[in-house]
Structure 1
Amino acid sequence: MLKKRRLSQNEEAIRGILLIIVFIVGLVFLRDMLVKRGVRILMLTRQDYMNAVEYYMQKKYGEKFEGEYIVENNIYVHPKENPQWHAVVEVYSENGLTYFSDNYVGYLKKEELEKYIYELVKPIYGECKVYTHPYGFSLDDSFNRDTDLMTYVSNSDYTTCIFTDKNVENREGDFEKLCNIFVDKDLQTNRLLVTYITKEDFDKFEEKLISYTFNELKFYYRISSFYDKAYKTGFDDDIDILEGDKDYGK
């Protein structure tokens, strides 16, 4: 009888411990879910914000993301299938909740936009190479995977880079034509750049070489202008023309 009583007491103790474990696990799970949903009072660490952003992006776009780093109120993430895309998610708070806004649509529309611009500028620059890159600003909260291209380009932030091996003699006249096309088509790119390179460099040029090309001045000329995003009046009258390395192409 005493043995059975001791066994019963042990069973009760085990049940109690199990209940405590289940309760703790439940609290951890509940906190995790509330953090992912942006309950600010529970977001205590940088990892909490990172987890919340990853959850927000996965829920919005239907694919998995990985957090990278945090700069002030911006969190940088990339989709697991395209780690070279570094999307920016802005974090802001309102009424005790944390909200997010991102620029990932710029990457989703990237290929389509580049093809569209290429067809527009081909009459000017011939077989050129066009690359667009989203600026590090969040976009309209209504933008998502289903946003159409023209809605995106008329109300977003991105840079457009065009590389050509065309003769540089009429560079300013060609650039003026290019700017007019962008204005006529309401392509509100923040900055528009055209870079003249050799035929040899052009044939093997890839997007990953842009920073190197600009930093090392590996070009004949780079001509650029900024679009007036505030008043949407077109490109600046002042066109910046940068000459590359004097030994380039020799």
Structure 2
Amino acid sequence: MTYKNQKPSNKIFFIGAGPGDPELITIKGKNRIEEADVIVYAGSLVNPKVLQWAKKDSQIFNSATMDLDEIIEVMEKAVKKGKKVVRVHTGDPSIYGAIREQMDRLEELEIDFEVIPGVSSFLASAALLKKEFTLPDVSQTIICTRLEGRTPVPEGEALEALASHKASMAIFLSVHMIDKVVEKLMQHYNGDTPIAVVQRATWEDQRIVQGTLKDIASKVKKANITKTAQILVGDFLGNSYSLSKLYDKTFSHQYRRAKK
């Protein structure tokens, strides 16, 4: 939408910068950074290398030191001056990005905005492990969640309740509580279930620790991994699965006839 007191091209872009590797930002996101007059980026998580495409005279703000009011004030003032503004988040901003509260405030101010998606760290982690979340006869469901901590989870979304589905799981923001994660998962997964912890996926200093529910906690502690890590768990990490019907020569679909 375009608001009455605003030029059609004068809006804020929320950009998912990807998991770490600056080349994993989308072309559209990179283009918006190149054009930006004002950039507000999540400095505690976003790789600063994505700012290499910013103009020399761009104003750059690190939101790690800012509260919501300060972030909105910077963006509002810039838009009212006719400047191009981008708000850069890590991964994909729709997952633990806290962008809804920002978008609602901008709507109250009648400031237009657009969201450009990015590559989430749980997808980057699967790519690094060379695994597929949705294997036939293993799992056709991916659960993205987190363990309750300072931020609670809604009733019914406790980790042990979600684990009862035995689906492929990506657990965010919880590696510092790995013992508790394992305790809750083992209420439904057996101890031999494969699990992987990927820290800073696609960054130059990325680390991967793999094991089973029985031994992953000790391995993670030995590696001293306490933050910025994905926990992936489920039998999709194993090697037993059925071949898909998509490329089965005996299976017909819209684009191919079955072969005898």
Q: Which structure: greater helix fraction?
A: 1
Greater radius of gyration (CA): 1
Shorter-chain TM-score bucket reads: under 0.3
Higher relative contact order (CA 8 A, sep 6+): 2
